[in-house]
Amino acid sequence: MNTGGASSIEVKIHYEDTDCGGVVYYANYLRYFERARTAHLESLGIDMKALTEARNFFVVKHAHVDYHAPARYGDRLIVQSEIAETGGASILFRHVVTEKASRSRLVTGEVKLVSVGPDGKVTRFPPEMAGRLKASIASA
């Protein structure tokens, strides 16, 4: 379990991740961010499957991505995630993608998520989850 701060995942770039020039297709970074966010929340002890079964969902309200350098077929990337802010029904994640071998910064971004119920209306986080989210920022 994560006690706060940032967490990271490793992503190997496959041919399917690239464009015809062998460079990672720009939208794929949003997929990598998603994987890293899910891993981060799970490391905080937040059960994503249980949330879904309880009909609590996250939707992306805002995404901002800055591309600094390309990743290519065969690269291994480290995707780091941390919670920058949290409210009663929202989370702002910061992401940094680096190439594993060179440690070069390739992509940075922020994604704001909002919690919604099955009707699509904003719903507050369950109290235990809200506490874990806030604690993860306090210990960052």
Q: Show which residues are catalytic.
A: 19
Structural tokens at position 107: 């992509």
List C-alpha distances in Å: 9 to 45, 50, 54, 124, 125. Answer: 16, 22, 27, 28, 25
State the Cα angle at 60 between 48 and 15, rounded to 5°. Answer: 80
Structural tokens at position 129: 């989850």
